[in-house]
Chain A
Amino acid sequence: MLSLFVIPGHDRRLIPEGRLSGPMPWVIAIMIFLMVLATAIGLAFTEAGQNVSDQLSSRATVQIIEANPDLKAQQTSDAAARLRGMELVEEVRVLPAQEIEDLIAPWLGQSADGGQDTGGLLEDIPLPALIDLKLAQPIGEKELEALRTGIRPLAASARIEPSSALIAPVIALVRSLQWIAFGLVILLAIATAAAVIISARAALNTHKETIGVIHLLGGTDRQISRLFQRRIALDALLGGVLGLICGAAIILLLGMQLSALGSGLVQSLDLSWYSWLIIGAIPILGMILAMVTARMTVMGALKKIL
């Protein structure tokens, strides 16, 4: 890998090193900029999805549906006691009736404190009792089954739902968006490679005579391609750093605006340090991509002359 970078002085002087020129650095800057944004979005979705499912994966809700309020209270406290005794269960919280009403109220088109229009509709609906559980481990079928067998003798109507099931569609959406973002990154990488191929071919054409001479004087394909590789690597690095700076600035700006909104999911655009590491590596990966592409293009073209 190092030999791709280090060019002996005598090789460097074979073709005079031009100043960074042409549209290449700019094209690469734009590509890297877009890649940085797409990667940041992809990573933000990954992290958000991860956070949410981490938070919810070990949580479950027990619903006890019973019309008779006394029976319901009895079953609830029995079930809660049993659950507290289980090794699997870390935390048990019986939701107070008021909290359940508050949860339900918006769905009934009523303010939580009881609107004038609908009167005591809430009182007429038998609400289930809810018990929030936090387990010592993520919930799988096995854990669910253990909980069910624990509670069923006490409350036949009890239903246990893992919390992750509730937001599964959201997680699925987040995953799709994440893959779309990463798909975009790949498409951008392909477009970058194509731009490099065009640029390398143009450079080859410009220096055709010189390359022919170096070739006949015994220059190897590697020597010749190194010259182009180096220039294109420099172009790509310059463009890449520019793109990274712009992209990172926008991510930070967006992050600030989102945290000002203070809403749940999007707050997670605060990227973790390893996500930033990945984003920071994009210009370097871009440069390596450009270099390898340039090398393959030049080597391929040289193979065609004897």
Chain B
Amino acid sequence: MNEIVQFENVGLRYGAGIETLSDLTFTLYPGSFYFLTGASGAGKTSLLKLLYLAQRPSRGLIRLFGEDAVTMPRERLPGFRRRIGVVFQDFRLVPHLSAFDNIALPLRVAGVKEKDLTTPVAEMLDWVGLGDRAEARPATLSGGEQQRVAIARAVIGRPEILVADEPTGNVDPEMAIRLLQLFEALNTLGTTIVVATHDIHLLSKVPGAQMMKLEKGGLSDPTGSLRNPPLPRDRA
């Protein structure tokens, strides 16, 4: 099995002071489902930022899709970013665009023709249960609805990796389970999923998922699966 993400002795320091993340070494395998847990402030968002190329590490090596992402020239980053779907912790919906246009954004960035994006975007809206809110602006949507738009936007481009930062933070437990089912469905189609959450109850909802735990900037590996390819998940 090929590695999709490799971190080696990665450290991240914001400004001066101590490292927010230090000596992270792990490997993610394609088609797996990972939970990244840790207390608030442990560095989950920071680690995900390294993963979705919003931040360069202060030291160490990161390989993405088999290529060195640390020394990669700037011009090549957009191409890599298009292969990664991101659900931001604060959603980052574009306020003056409708739900439809927000979800269509990655396709438009990738140059998909208007006539080719109507159907997939409409399907995606239905998939997250917002079929009747296509024209709504983010400000008129509830927190949970915004989150679902954010998730739809992250997955519409069929990314190879889906990174979700506290994607269930603003929804009721029932919706949280539904969202996890969306991720699982995507995972079944082959997407590698990384979900950061401080809610350890979620972990039991996805059987066979791997767990990474951040503590004081370091990574512990309770399931022992970060250095060894995980067994194929039971997709019954």
Binding site for B on A (CB under 8 A): 8-11, 13-14, 16, 209-210, 212-220, 223, 303, 306
Instruction: List B contacts of A214 (CB < 8 A).
Output: 105, 109
Contact string against A for B residues 100-131, beta-carbon threshold 8 Å, 1 for contact and 0 otherwise: 01001111111111100100000000000000
Q: How far is the CB of B143 from chain A (nearest CB, A)?
A: 18
By the criterion CB–CB under 8 Å, are A218 and B56 in contact? no
Q: How far is the CB of A180 from chain B (nearest CB, A)?
A: 45
By the criterion CB–CB under 8 Å, are B106 and A306 in contact? no
Instruction: List B contacts of A9 (CB < 8 A).
Output: 113-114
The 8 Å CB contact of A216, one of B54, B56, B107, B108, is B54
By the criterion CB–CB under 8 Å, are A219 and B109 in contact? yes
By the criterion CB–CB under 8 Å, are B109 and A16 in contact? no
By the criterion CB–CB under 8 Å, are A10 and B92 in contact? no
By the criterion CB–CB under 8 Å, are A218 and B54 in contact? no
Instruction: List A contacts of B81 (CB < 8 A).
Output: 215-218
Instruction: List A contacts of B86 (CB < 8 A).
Output: 216-217
Residue of B at shortest CB range from A12?
B108
By the criterion CB–CB under 8 Å, are B111 and A10 in contact? yes
By the criterion CB–CB under 8 Å, are B111 and A13 in contact? no
Q: Can you give 15 contacting A-B residue pairs, CB < 8 Å?
A: A9-B114, A10-B109, A10-B112, A10-B117, A13-B104, A13-B108, A14-B109, A209-B95, A214-B105, A216-B52, A216-B54, A217-B86, A217-B105, A306-B53, A306-B56
By the criterion CB–CB under 8 Å, are A218 and B97 in contact? no
Known A9-B114, A13-B108; judge A218-B94 contact (CB<8 A).
no
- Bound-state CA distance A214–B96 (Å) is 14
The 8 Å CB contact of B78, one of A14, A209, A210, A219, is A219
Instruction: List B contacts of A217 (CB < 8 A).
Output: 81-82, 86, 105-106, 109, 153
- Bound-state CA distance A306–B54 (Å) is 6
B17 within 8 A of A: no
Q: What's the dominant secondary structure at chain A's contact region? A: helix
Given contacts A10-B107, A216-B92, 5 further A-B pairs with CB under 8 A are: A11-B108, A11-B111, A216-B53, A217-B105, A303-B74
B79 within 8 A of A: yes
For chain B, residues 6 to 55, give those with C-beta under 8 angstroms from any C-beta of chain A: 52-55
The 8 Å CB contact of A10, one of B54, B97, B108, is B108
Known A16-B96, A16-B97; judge A8-B111 contact (CB<8 A).
yes
Residue of A at shortest CB range from B94?
A210
By the criterion CB–CB under 8 Å, are B77 and A306 in contact? yes
Q: How far is the CB of A231 from chain B (nearest CB, A)?
A: 14
By the criterion CB–CB under 8 Å, are B101 and A218 in contact? no
Q: How far is the CB of B46 from chain A (nearest CB, A)?
A: 14
Residue among A11, A14, A213 with most chain B CB within 10 A: A213
Contact string against A for B residues 63-86, beta-carbon threshold 8 Å, 1 for contact and 0 otherwise: 000000000001101111110001
Residue of B at shortest CB range from A219?
B109
Known A14-B109, A223-B109; judge A306-B55 contact (CB<8 A).
yes
Instruction: List A contacts of B74 (CB < 8 A).
Output: 303, 306
Q: How far is the CB of B149 from chain A (nearest CB, A)?
A: 12
Instruction: List B contacts of A213 (CB < 8 A).
Output: 92, 94, 105
Q: How far is the CB of A239 from chain B (nearest CB, A)?
A: 25
Q: How far is the CB of B105 from chain A (nearest CB, A)?
A: 6
Q: How far is the CB of A304 from chain B (nearest CB, A)?
A: 11
Instruction: List A contacts of B82 (CB < 8 A).
Output: 217-218
By the criterion CB–CB under 8 Å, are B114 and A10 in contact? yes
Q: How far is the CB of B109 from chain A (nearest CB, A)?
A: 5
By the criterion CB–CB under 8 Å, are A209 and B94 in contact? yes
By the criterion CB–CB under 8 Å, are B101 and A13 in contact? yes
Instruction: List A contacts of B106 (CB < 8 A).
Output: 217-218
Q: How far is the CB of A290 from chain B (nearest CB, A)?
A: 24
Closest 4 CB pairs of A and B: A218-B82, A218-B81, A10-B108, A218-B78
Q: How far is the CB of B119 from chain A (nearest CB, A)?
A: 15
- Bound-state CA distance A16–B108 (Å) is 13
The 8 Å CB contact of A220, one of B54, B56, B78, B95, is B78
Known A210-B94, A306-B54, A306-B56; judge A14-B105 contact (CB<8 A).
yes
Instruction: List B contacts of A306 (CB < 8 A).
Output: 53-56, 74, 77
By the criterion CB–CB under 8 Å, are B92 and A212 in contact? yes
- Bound-state CA distance A239–B52 (Å) is 42
Residue of A at shortest CB range from B153?
A217
Residue among A209, A210, A217, A303 with most chain B CB within 10 A: A217
Residue of B at shortest CB range from A8?
B111
Q: How far is the CB of B137 from chain A (nearest CB, A)?
A: 11
Q: How far is the CB of B6 from chain A (nearest CB, A)?
A: 20
Instruction: List B contacts of A8 (CB < 8 A).
Output: 111
- Bound-state CA distance A13–B104 (Å) is 10
Instruction: List A contacts of B56 (CB < 8 A).
Output: 306
Instruction: List B contacts of A16 (CB < 8 A).
Output: 96-97
